[in-house]
């Protein structure tokens, strides 16, 4: 049992490693070709290669399930072609027992996936965003033309809206605007500052211009009568400090795709969104998808398992590999479709995240069950035919 499991593990790990290296090289090559137009004196080819190296962990995280699927199909198809799986079956090993061996084999891959998900990929993604900002002056993810927008409740029960125009690699922000709504409907003041820093739940604005609006400014505009006092007063200060729930970590959370964040970052950002009555469904779905990611790897091996029960004839291995790749591609299309449809129609996050995995697992187990018992069903059908003819 242990010898057979180790042999299967070696074959699957080797094939999956080859497939992943090929996929990483292919996707990286296409990205390099696509980005060559952006190469200039300020952004040389060495900088582009550095960004691609930083993007490798995230790309590996995305490609790991499909790489494991294709590698498992290649390994199992090779074993079936050499009749080695037939030897395992003849030795008394059932199909479900082989499947359980494959699940055990997936444990090291699951551990690698967790490390990628919680440690390596988020750190690399942050470094990638910082390097992209430093080298190219831009950062991707969640940015509108006007910058990044945040909403939070104030201690007095009002609302504050913060607009960050630019994120700097030093941890500071630039082109900042802060809008204060004491009663949640009427704006009382607006601060603008060319730069600001976050520290200890404080936001320190530098070289501040404050536009302070009169309490009866709106009524004065409606009546059309001359106001006794100015409708707006402009004040300038070298520094202004305000309390805020926004932190540098939450700024980073706004930049990163939810699936690229760690569990702790996601939990903190969801808490921030919920306390400020903002929509957190996308982030909650991301948490459940992170929970389901190791299960996805097990599903990939389960999809590959029926390969071991197929009769292999000359020229049939390529067809089986092609069918398996189509199944894996269809699964990932279903996964993305479930995410978009779930967010559109407000499905529960648990259903949105786990539905594709559950359906794929049910189909794979059903296929294994049918292949495992079709000989028994054929024998019973033959016996019934014989009895009927007699």
Residue 67 pLDDT exceeds 70: yes
Instruction: Name which of 81-95, 193-207, 312-326 the model is least confident about.
Output: 312-326
Tell me what the mean pLDDT of segment 328-351 comes to. Answer: 80
170 and 236 belong to one structural domain: yes
125 and 205 belong to one structural domain: no
Residue 105 pLDDT exceeds 80: yes
295 and 341 belong to one structural domain: yes
241 and 321 belong to one structural domain: no
97 and 171 belong to one structural domain: no
Tell me what the mean pLDDT of segment 195-213 comes to. Answer: 87
Q: What per-residue confidence (pLDDT) applies to 130?
A: 74
- In this predicted model, which residue has the larger pLDDT, 232 or 143? 232
291 and 193 belong to one structural domain: no
Instruction: Decide if 211 is inside a domain.
Output: yes
CA distances from 56 to 122, 169, 286 (A): 12, 21, 21
291 and 236 belong to one structural domain: no
Domain boundary among 246, 267, 290: 246
Instruction: Decide if 266 is inside a domain.
Output: no
Give the whole-angstrom CA distance, residue 120 versus residue 267.
18
Instruction: Decide if 356 is inside a domain.
Output: yes
In angstroms, how far is CA 117 from the centroid of its own chain?
9
Domain boundary among 220, 246, 272: 246
Residue 334 pLDDT exceeds 90: no
Q: What per-residue confidence (pLDDT) applies to 225?
A: 65
For residue range 250-271, list pLDDT tens digits in order. 877 777 778 788 888 888 888 8
- Which residues contact residue 384 at a Cβ distance below 8 angstroms, ignoring those fewer than 6 apart? none
242 and 287 belong to one structural domain: no
Give the whole-angstrom CA distance, residue 72 versus residue 303.
9
For residue range 138-169, list pLDDT tens digits in order. 656 555 667 788 888 888 888 899 998 887 75
Residue 60 pLDDT exceeds 90: yes
Which residue range(s) make up the domain with 381?
A: 2-137+280-386
Give the whole-angstrom CA distance, residue 119 versus residue 102.
26
Instruction: Decide if 260 is inside a domain.
Output: no
- In this predicted model, which residue has the larger pLDDT, 248 or 123? 123
CA distances from 262 to 39, 109, 199, 248 (A): 32, 18, 22, 15
Instruction: Decide if 275 is inside a domain.
Output: no
Give the whole-angstrom CA distance, residue 364 versus residue 356.
12
Q: Are 308 and 95 in contact (CB under 8 A)?
A: yes
Judged by phi (left if over 0) then psi (alpha if -120 to 50, else beta), residue 105 lies in: alpha
Domains in the chain: how many in total?
2
* pLDDT range class, residue 108, cuts 50, 70, 90: very high
79 and 125 belong to one structural domain: yes
Instruction: Decide if 178 is inside a domain.
Output: yes
- In this predicted model, which residue has the larger pLDDT, 265 or 82? 265
Q: Are 177 and 191 in contact (CB under 8 A)?
A: yes
10 and 118 belong to one structural domain: yes
78 and 154 belong to one structural domain: no
Give the whole-angstrom CA distance, residue 160 versus residue 123.
30
Strands (E), the chain: 148-153, 159-167, 173-181, 189-199, 202-213, 232-243
Domain boundary among 225, 246, 267: 246
For residue range 272-296, list pLDDT tens digits in order. 888 888 888 888 888 888 888 888 8
Residue 46 pLDDT exceeds 60: yes
Q: What per-residue confidence (pLDDT) applies to 187?
A: 84
* pLDDT range class, residue 382, cuts 50, 70, 90: low
Instruction: Decide if 293 is inside a domain.
Output: yes
Residue 97 pLDDT exceeds 90: no
- In this predicted model, which residue has the larger pLDDT, 124 or 340? 124
First to last CA, the chain: 45
Q: Hey, what are 144's tokens?
A: 């509108």
Instruction: Decide if 257 is inside a domain.
Output: no
221 and 289 belong to one structural domain: no
């Amino acid at each position: 049992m242990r010898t057979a499991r180790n042999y299967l593990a070696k074959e699957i790990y080797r094939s999956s490693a080859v497939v992943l290296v090929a996929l990483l090289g292919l996707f990286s090559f296409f990205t390099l070709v696509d980005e060559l137009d952006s190469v200039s004196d300020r952004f040389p080819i060495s900088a582009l290669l550095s960004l691609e190296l930083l993007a490798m962990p995230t790309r590996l995280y995305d490609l790991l399930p499909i790489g494991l699927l294709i590698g498992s199909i290649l390994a199992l198809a090779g074993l079936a072609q050499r009749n080695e799986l037939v030897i395992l079956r003849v030795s008394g090993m059932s199909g479900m027992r082989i499947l359980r061996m494959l699940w055990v084999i997936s444990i090291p891959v699951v551990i690698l996936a967790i490390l990628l998900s919680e440690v390596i990929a988020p750190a690399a993604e942050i470094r990638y965003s910082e390097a992209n900002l430093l080298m190219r002056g831009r950062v991707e993810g969640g940015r509108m033309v006007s910058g990044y927008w945040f909403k939070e409740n104030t201690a007095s029960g009002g609302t504050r809206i913060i607009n960050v125009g630019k994120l700097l690699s030093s941890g500071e922000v630039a082109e900042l605007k802060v809008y204060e709504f004491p009663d949640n409907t009427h704006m009382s003041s607006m601060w603008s500052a060319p730069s600001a820093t976050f520290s200890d739940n404080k936001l320190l604005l530098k070289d501040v211009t404050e536009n302070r609006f009169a309490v009866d400014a709106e009524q004065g505009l409606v009546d059309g009568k001359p106001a006794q006092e100015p409708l707006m007063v402009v004040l300038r200060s070298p520094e202004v400090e305000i309390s805020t729930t926004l932190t540098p970590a939450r700024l980073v959370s706004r930049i990163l795709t939810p699936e690229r964040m760690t569990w702790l970052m996601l939990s903190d950002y969801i808490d921030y969104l919920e306390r400020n009555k903002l929509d957190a469904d996308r982030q909650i779905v991301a948490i459940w998808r992170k929970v389901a990611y190791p299960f996805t790897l097990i599903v990939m091996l389960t999809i590959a398992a029926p390969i071991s029960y197929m009769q292999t004839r000359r020229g049939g291995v390529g067809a089986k590999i092609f069918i398996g790749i189509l199944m894996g591609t269809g699964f990932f299309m279903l996964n993305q479709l479930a995410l978009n449809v779930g967010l559109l129609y407000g499905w529960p996050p648990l259903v949105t995240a786990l539905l594709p995995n559950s359906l794929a697992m049910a189909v794979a187990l059903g296929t294994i069950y049918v292949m495992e018992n079709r000989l028994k069903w054929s024998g019973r059908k033959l016996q019934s035919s014989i009895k009927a003819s007699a």
